[in-house]
């Protein structure tokens, strides 16, 4: 049998996990997925993910690759892996990809969605996947401010100090705020994101929506390249990786 490279599409509720990337002393999605696949095919399998989602962050369309030497047909892999996973993780698709496919560097864009619930009563059935923020916010001025974040910029002001990547330049293709009743959605599409970048963008736009900042201050924060000039970080549970495009 020849070794196959397989791209997986994975959805998970991140509430019970310390993020995607394997860690020594904390349970992560990558670890659980890798253990399940390794047990299925009878050999140790390394899983490489497209996005290192933070602790508590969820996904509907995380992408990852594995290389396996197994008689299990590719079309049966998604179900076979899912059968060995806990209920809060599922592999929705498995497809064979060329050997030179790189799940990280071949990414064209990613879409993250952040959800805020503004109703007065805590939404107990959704609380693991929304930020409950029972305040009035103006989504029109938030959208005005969000326009300053669209384009190719140095997003250092919106990156965690723990982000040690050489370049903090990223391209944001779309950043918009959508209100549906008591729910507010922040959709942010870009070619890549820094550590905590989306959550820091959301926290900053909330300052605008609550009337504490004017929209132009977001532009000033971006240009400052200084984390202390942007707003506070939004909680992790409202964030979800919707898809990764190649």
Q: What 3-state class would DSSP assign to 229? A: helix
Q: Is 83 a catalytic residue?
A: no
Furthest CA-CA distance within the chain? 62
Residue 90: CB partners within 8 Å, gap ≥ 6? 10, 11, 12, 82
Tokens 């993780």 found at: 89
Residues in a beta bridge with 240: 58, 113
Q: What are phi and psi of 104, to 5 degrees?
A: -95, -55
- Please name which of 232, 209, 229 lies closest in space to residue 219, comparing C-alpha atoms: 229
Q: What 3-state class would DSSP assign to 77? A: helix
Q: Which of 35, 54, 83, 88 is catalytic?
A: 54
Question: Could you give the residue numbers annotated as active site?
Answer: 54
């Amino acid at each position: 049998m020849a070794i196959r490279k397989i791209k997986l599409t994975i959805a998970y509720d991140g509430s019970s996990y310390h993020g995607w990337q394997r860690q020594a002393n904390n349970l992560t999605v990558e670890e659980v997925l890798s253990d399940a696949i390794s047990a299925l095919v009878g050999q140790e399998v390394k899983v490489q993910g497209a996005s290192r989602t933070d602790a508590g962050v969820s996904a509907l369309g995380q992408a990852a690759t594995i290389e396996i030497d197994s008689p299990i047909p590719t079309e049966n892999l998604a179900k076979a892996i899912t059968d060995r996973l806990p209920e809060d993780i599922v592999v929705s698709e498995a497809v064979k990809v060329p050997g030179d496919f790189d799940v990280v560097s071949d990414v064209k864009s990613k879409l993250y969605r952040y959800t805020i619930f503004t109703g007065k009563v805590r939404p107990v059935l959704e609380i693991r996947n929304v930020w409950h923020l029972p305040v009035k916010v103006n989504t029109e001025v938030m959208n005005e401010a969000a326009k300053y974040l669209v384009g190719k910029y140095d997003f250092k002001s919106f990156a965690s100090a723990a982000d040690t990547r050489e370049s903090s330049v990223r391209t944001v293709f779309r950043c918009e705020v959508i209100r549906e009743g008591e729910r507010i959605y922040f959709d942010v599409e870009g070619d890549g994101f820094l550590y905590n970048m989306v959550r820091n963008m959301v926290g900053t736009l909330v300052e605008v929506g609550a009337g504490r900042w004017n929209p132009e201050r977001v532009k000033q924060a971006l240009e400052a390249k200084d984390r202390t000039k942007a707003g506070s970080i939004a909680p992790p549970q409202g964030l979800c990786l919707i898809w990764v495009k190649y």
